[in-house]
Amino acid sequence: MDIETVKERAGPRQFGPGDDMPEEYRRRATRMIQFHANSEVMGGYLDREFTRHAPSLDRKLANTAKVQDEIGHAQLLYRAAETLGVKTRDEMLEELRTGEGRFLNCFHYPVDSWYEAPMIDFFVDGGAMRRQATLKNTSWTPYAHAMDKVCFEEGFHVKHGESILRELMRGSKATRERMQETFDEWWPRILQFFGPTNDESTHNDFAQEVGLKTTSNDDLRNSFLNMYVPKAEKYGLEIPEYPRIFEREDGTMAVREDDLDWDEFWTIAKNEYVGSHEQIGSRRRRRDAVEWVRRSMDAWESSAGAATGAANP
């Protein structure tokens, strides 16, 4: 099958491992799904910090469950990427360890307070839900199947974050002020979660043409604004003056994209941001710390396989 045929046939859950897909589709789909899987891993690492800051045992338990979900999502996605036949799961994890693997901008920023939990668990995960719901109709079937489970669990994550935000915004004046300060800092990052503008994206057009994506970055960003600006205001948060939000002729909201710091965004995209080194280094150290477990398991599997072979000549 050539790439033009793929574009003609592109539709929800149209292609799978049994199809003779062109190399360009396999390579670009692998890049997209690997990016998603890496982001789930690094999001889990970020969320792990909130368990330490959580103010109650119930919050700690709920947050721990969320971290487990995120790592589970990553495993599903790495397996979905493997079905394209370009890279193995171990190769993708090794690229993440060395800093070659890319992941979402919001997970490059270190966190150090419970006030940041709603930024990730409500706003970022809310944005993720807007994006991931569209990926149920991606053209690569294993990816779409993974999204069925991921979206089901992400819905609970958003409720978890909303509950934290509601609790904090019912707190003291000092608590509400601290929450507003945190929101002011994170709001531009959240809006950049959806990626570069359509005219600056090097992958958006192809991904839509072959059905890997069904909605553009700009449309996802605007859809998020229409849903989450009212939610933020409902809980008493004030939308920052910058980046400027405006209402279009059709009554929907959009952001003045020139107000966003795209230089910082592209630095992050290359894993060259200061926080990127910290996050990737933390991931590398923890992966290296359990290398002995992987070696032990590999040795056990080899010895078990040898024993089975000897018993069944």
pLDDT at 282: 65
Looking at residue 119, the DSSP 8-state letter turns out to be I
pLDDT at 307: 61
Confidence of residue 312 (pLDDT cuts 50, 70, 90): low
Position 311 pLDDT exceeds 60: no
Nearest to 182 by CA among 78, 44, 50: 50
Mean pLDDT for the stretch of residues 70-99: 93
Structure tokens belonging to residue 82: 């493997």
Position 310 pLDDT exceeds 60: no
How many domains does the chain divide into?
1
- pTM of the full structure: 0.86
pLDDT at 126: 93
Question: CA distances (Å), 31 to each of 25, 26, 67, 89, 220, in order?
Answer: 10, 9, 24, 13, 20
Strands 245-247 and 253-255: antiparallel
Percent of the chain with pLDDT over 90: 56
Ranking 17-26, 106-115, 286-295 by mean pLDDT, the lowest is: 286-295
In whole angstroms, what separates CA 46 from the centre of its chain?
Answer: 11
Q: What is the mean pLDDT of the chain?
A: 88
In this predicted model, what pLDDT tens digit does every residue of 232-286 receive, in sequence order? 999 999 999 988 888 888 888 888 888 888 888 888 888 877 667 666 666 666 6
Mean pLDDT for the stretch of residues 191-197: 89
Mean pLDDT for the stretch of residues 176-181: 96
33 with 80: CB under 8 angstroms?
yes
Can you say whether the dihedral through the CA atoms of 124, 144, 201, 268 is positive or negative?
A: positive
Q: What is the CATH number of the domain that holds 167?
A: 1.20.1260.10
Q: What are phi and psi of 253, to 5 degrees?
A: -100, 155
- Determine the Cα–Cα distance for residues 257 and 262; give it in Å rounded to an integer: 9
Mean pLDDT for the stretch of residues 194-198: 85
pLDDT at 203: 80
Question: CA distances (Å), 68 to each of 16, 71, 72, 284, in order?
Answer: 28, 5, 6, 19
Q: What are phi and psi of 255, to 5 degrees?
A: -110, 145
Range among 120-124, 195-199, 205-209 with highest mean pLDDT value: 120-124
In this predicted model, what pLDDT tens digit does every residue of 118-170 receive, in sequence order? 999 999 999 999 899 999 999 999 999 999 999 999 999 999 999 999 999 99
Domain range for residue 91?
3-311
Q: Give the contacts of 298 (CB within 8 A, at least 6 positions apart).
A: none
Structure tokens belonging to residue 205: 């057009």
Counted residue by residue, the chain has a size of: 313
